[in-house]
Structure 1
Amino acid sequence: MSNIKALNWRYATKKFDNSRILSEEKVKVLKQAFNLTATSYGLQPLKMLIISNKDTQRKLREFSMNQQQVDTASHVMVICIEDRVDEEFITNYFKRVKHVRETPEEILKPFHDFLIDDFKTKEVEEIEAWAINQAYLALGTLLTVCAAEEIDACPMEGFEPEKYDEFLNLHDKNLRSVLVLPVGYRSADDDFSKFKKVRRPIDEVIIEMD
């Protein structure tokens, strides 16, 4: 399937076929896609929970405005932001860069020091907003890869993050939930899958400049 055909095929799935489960290979692809997503400075202030336990999914539905996608999906992915993006977090990133790319420390030090100083000047709320932006980048990557792999998905903001955090013990992991993505395969009787996609004309949303 071409990229554009895949994007036309995808939709926000309203009803999953709960008898169909993603293969381990498909789940592995989504894990890799999440890890390969673009993030600002490459810092990856994110982690993702992958939930396939049906009892857990049923409980999470209670905190998700009772949306049926949460407990009928094959898996539920919860995109979380790191509670602390501090000097230690940034330094650990540069240690990985040094190890993977074998880059001399003196080459990395100016950028390392710049980021440390930059983040020290930011308020906690600024860093949180920045991290949430990275979560949306990851969500976009996952939705695109899901379409390419013919995996159905439903991006969700409509949930109670505080209750997710408490139920999943995210505070102990220094994480906060920001987005939910149920994935699986559409039900044959999900009428929304048959609707034509509605978008503004391309010439209304694209501005070409000389």
Structure 2
Amino acid sequence: MSTYIDSLNWRYATKKFDNTKKVSQEDLNSLLEATTLSASSFGLQPYKIVVVEDEAVRAKLKPHAWDQSQITDASHLIVLANQNSFGEELVEEYVENVSETRGIPAEGLQGYADFMKSKLVPLAEDAKAVWTAKQTYIALGNLLSAAAIHKIDSCPMEGFDAEKFNEILGLTEQGLNTAVLVAVGYRSEADETQHYKKVRKSKEDLITHI
């Protein structure tokens, strides 16, 4: 089995997918489980994971993503959508989940709940949206790494009209916003970029030890 570093060296932002190859349901489930296991601030996970498989829906989305072929040719399109805003309910639902999962009386978590509320609820609306969007990128990292380990190709994408995506996917009425996309599938032999050497800053330039 290849090492984690080998897998990261193997992956690249796939430009052309083979539209005849599909990710199995088992592998897709593994990718989604890895994504749900991602870390998030306070563990609150203020986002939704939307798996877009419907070809007609993806065809509607494509013009609003610079007509990039990955939208329709990849096996699956995964949308990470952050909550636009939130109130105390975000914390309360989390605390209820903790209580049920760990068998802890809810009143024993009240102090922690009040602390989270004091830090998050007073944020300005734009700050809330920025904070929730940041959480989706932690999940994005896990998804890309999990795909690489499974030898599933992926392409993270920011080139899209979020408002149009929100409209087509029915996210606006759910208080959600398309933060980032990930196309997953298998690379086309015609994708020349798979042969390019990976370009990264040197460790000396990127890493500082103090």
Note the 1:47-196 alignment, pairs <5 A: 47-196=48-197
- Give the whole-Å Cα distance in 1 for the aligned partners of 2:152 and 2:43: 27
Amino acid at match of 2:205: E
Alpha-carbon distance, 1:102 to partner: 1.2
**1:43 aligns to what?**
44
Alpha-carbon distance, 1:174 to partner: 2.2
Amino acid at match of 1:64: A
Q: Normalising to structure 2: TM-score of the pair?
A: 0.96
Number of residue pairs the alignment of both structures matches: 209
Amino acid at match of 1:173: Q
**1:20 aligns to what?**
21
Alpha-carbon distance, 1:125 to partner: 0.8
- Give the whole-Å Cα distance in 2 for the aligned partners of 1:43 and 1:85: 11
Percent of residue pairs bearing the same amino acid type: 37
Alpha-carbon distance, 1:142 to partner: 0.6
Moved more, 66-75 or 117-126: 117-126
Alpha-carbon distance, 1:21 to partner: 0.4
- Give the whole-Å Cα distance in 2 for the aligned partners of 1:120 and 1:53: 37
Moved more, 113-122 or 186-195: 113-122
Q: Normalising to structure 1: TM-score of the pair?
A: 0.96
Alpha-carbon distance, 1:130 to partner: 0.5
- Give the whole-Å Cα distance in 2 for the aligned partners of 1:121 and 1:27: 38
Alpha-carbon distance, 1:92 to partner: 0.7
Amino acid at match of 1:108: L
**2:50 match: secondary structure:** strand
- Give the whole-Å Cα distance in 1 for the aligned partners of 2:82 and 2:200: 31
Alpha-carbon distance, 1:185 to partner: 0.2
- Give the whole-Å Cα distance in 1 for the aligned partners of 2:198 and 2:118: 46
Give the superposed CA RMSD: 1.1
- Give the whole-Å Cα distance in 1 for the aligned partners of 2:41 and 2:86: 13
- Give the whole-Å Cα distance in 1 for the aligned partners of 2:86 and 2:99: 19
- Give the whole-Å Cα distance in 2 for the aligned partners of 1:91 and 1:29: 29
Alpha-carbon distance, 1:84 to partner: 3.3
Residue by residue, what CA displacement relative to the aligned partner does 1:161-197 show, whole Å, maximum 9, x if unpaired? 0000111111222211110111100001100001110
Residue by residue, what CA displacement relative to the aligned partner does 1:71-108 show, whole Å, maximum 9, x if unpaired? 10000001001233211121010000011111233431
- Give the whole-Å Cα distance in 1 for the aligned partners of 2:171 and 2:122: 27
Gap regions ≥5 residues in structure 2 = none
Gap regions ≥5 residues in structure 1 = none
